[in-house]
Amino acid sequence: MEAMGLPVYWLGREFTAGGLTFQGPYGGEFGGEVEGGGIDMDYVSWLDGTPFEGTNIGLKITVYGPNAWGLASGRIMTPPPPGVPSQYSVTRRTVDVMGREAELISVPSGDRPANRLRLILELDPVVVVGEAASVLSSDAEGASELNILIKNPDLLVQVIGENLRPYPE
């Protein structure tokens, strides 16, 4: 992306949210390439505190260049794909991130109102998308959500607003 003259945004090497420490970015060296010009990065928090062991929750940050956003925006902005049944509907709200309007999209799945959260922030000429996925734990009383970003969508907005910055620092 830098070779294309486009800015790259990231969350640094580590941040804290809801009492959990997320580390990253993980991906091929720094991040994975996105078709059309972009990069994605994964940040992970291990719930038991031991890296690479046990249950983890994550946050994916994708920075789309203009061509990449043209290829991906339809899929990202209009979830879920046709034919996926759900008793809940996609919800959207406008939020303030870094003094700019951003869109927070909650994507349901089956019997869960929020299976995935997406925060879309336009930082001309790029678009940054933060995405958190549901992580369920099952016990005798049923399933419970482990991802603090799914349980508290405003925390996702806060994480992006407080930690997103141009790379390199």
Cα 109 to Cα 12, 37, 40, 72, 142: the distances in Å are: 31, 30, 24, 21, 17
Whole-number pLDDT of residue 118:
96
- pLDDT, tens only, 20-33: 999 999 865 556 67
Report whether pLDDT(9) > 90: yes
Q: Residue 45 in contact with residue 89, Cβ under 8 Å? A: no
- pLDDT, tens only, 112-122: 778 899 999 99
For residue 131 the two structure tokens come to: 């995405």
Whole-number pLDDT of residue 144:
81
Whole-number pLDDT of residue 86:
72
Rounded to the nearest 10°, the torsion over CA 116, 127, 43, 148 is -40
Rounded CA separation 54/126 (Å): 35
Q: H or E element: which one contains 165?
A: strand 165-166
Angle CA 81–121–79, to nearest 5: 10
Rounded CA separation 66/40 (Å): 15
Rounded CA separation 87/81 (Å): 14
Whole-number pLDDT of residue 31:
61
Q: Residue 43 in contact with residue 24, Cβ under 8 Å? A: yes
Q: How confident is the model at residue 90 (pLDDT cuts 50, 70, 90)?
A: confident
- Cβ neighbors of 114 (< 8 A, separation 6 or more) are 106, 107, 108, 134, 150, 153
CATH code given to domain 9-166: 3.40.1000
The domain locations on the chain are 9-166
Whole-number pLDDT of residue 138:
65
Whole-number pLDDT of residue 27:
66
Per cent of the chain over pLDDT 70 is 91
